[in-house]
Amino acid sequence: MHYIQAVVLAIVQGIAEFLPISSSGHLVIIPRLLGWTDPGLKFDIVLHAGSLLALVVYFWQDIKKLFLAFFGITKDAEARRFAWVVLIGSIPAVIAGAVLGSKIEEHFRDVRWVGLFMLCAGSVYALTTKFLAVKPGAQDQPGWKQALTIGLAQVMALFPGVSRSGSTTWTGTRLGLSHANAAKYSFFLGMVAIAGAAAKTAWDVVKGKDVVAFPTGALVVGFVVSALVSFAVIRWLLNFFRKHTLVPFGVYLMVLGAIVLVWPWK
């Protein structure tokens, strides 16, 4: 069962971490639906590490360019500017996560809260994109004020059921970015967010909060599956957003959220 659970949850993590459908929400719903116990914090770190590896591999050339420009090794002004807007956009989630993260986790982890947040987020993504559409902007990257606004939107993803990639991509499109450019910026914010989440969870393990023993082999399987699925989803989503919008994902969240709210949970 450990290996089956590892594969299923790793696939869910890889898909839902980057598609705008909320990985945190799905990782609450699916184990509850299948009657599985929490696999523990170490497994959570492993899944996030797999997704982070996929991001780094996919965007390695961009990351290298940003690093060299940020530290003045190269004179690429555009890359240096993008590095700064990624840092600026990450600030709100870092602060909010440190101050509110544990409180939100404690009070809003219930599956019905997840359903409600999914329904609300999906309604925003689908209805506003469909009926209050804005003309895609020509910007390749946000300015610092836009970055800060998108970063504030990312804070909403602390609530299970609200998609981090969904809230940041949607906000980016409202501010004039195309869906593809907003999604790319969201992925770079995701590197910081996922690394931060993994570091926090690792600290919790060090403090002795992890009480579930998950086999090493299952951890390895979870890491590999999470990385492979995450890589495929990143590539697919960037291509998808070149021609399409958030509407299908919003509809999915609305339907799933409604089902979760009326499901006879025990």
Q: What is the pLDDT of residues 38-72, one digit of tens each?
A: 777 678 888 989 999 999 999 999 999 999 999 99
Instruction: Find, among 209, 204, 208, 163, the residue nearest to 186 by Cα.
Output: 163
- Domain extent, residue 90, equals 2-262
Q: Give the model's pLDDT for residue 133.
A: 66
In degrees to the nearest 10, what's the CA dihedral of 30, 32, 38, 41? 50
Angstrom distances, CA of residue 258 to CA of 31, 92, 128 = 18, 30, 19
Average pLDDT in the chain? 90
Tokens in use for 191?
């590197």
Angstrom distances, CA of residue 56 to CA of 19, 59, 227, 239, 264 = 17, 5, 10, 18, 41
**Residue that has been written with the tokens 């101050």 in this structure:** 99
* DSSP three-state, residue 244: coil
Q: Give the model's pLDDT for residue 137.
A: 62
pLDDT in tens, 155-196: 998 898 999 999 999 999 999 898 889 999 999 999 998 888
Q: Give the predicted TM-score (pTM) of the model.
A: 0.91
Can you tell me the distance from the alpha carbon of 64 to that of 6, in angstroms, rounded to the nearest whole number?
32
Do residues 74 and 247 touch, judged by C-beta distance below 8 A? no
**Which one is predicted more confidently, 138 or 236?**
236
Q: Give the model's pLDDT for residue 140.
A: 78
Can you tell me the distance from the alpha carbon of 72 to that of 165, in angstroms, rounded to the nearest whole number?
30
Q: Give the model's pLDDT for residue 15.
A: 96
Do residues 169 and 34 touch, judged by C-beta distance below 8 A? no
Which amino acid is residue 238, in one-letter code? L
Please state the domain count of the chain: 1
Can you tell me the distance from the alpha carbon of 40 to that of 37, in angstroms, rounded to the nearest whole number?
9
Residue 1 pLDDT exceeds 60: no
Do residues 252 and 118 touch, judged by C-beta distance below 8 A? no
Q: Tell me the average pLDDT across 125-141.
A: 76
Do residues 72 and 133 touch, judged by C-beta distance below 8 A? no
Q: Give the model's pLDDT for residue 248.
A: 95
Tokens in use for 26?
């799905």
Cβ-proximal residues to 180 (8 Å cutoff; 6+ apart), any chain: 238, 241, 242
Tokens in use for 116?
């409600």
Can you tell me the distance from the alpha carbon of 170 to that of 189, in angstroms, rounded to the nearest whole number?
14
Q: Report the 10 Å Cβ neighbour count for 120.
A: 17
Q: Report the 10 Å Cβ neighbour count for 202.
A: 17
Q: Give the model's pLDDT for residue 97.
A: 84
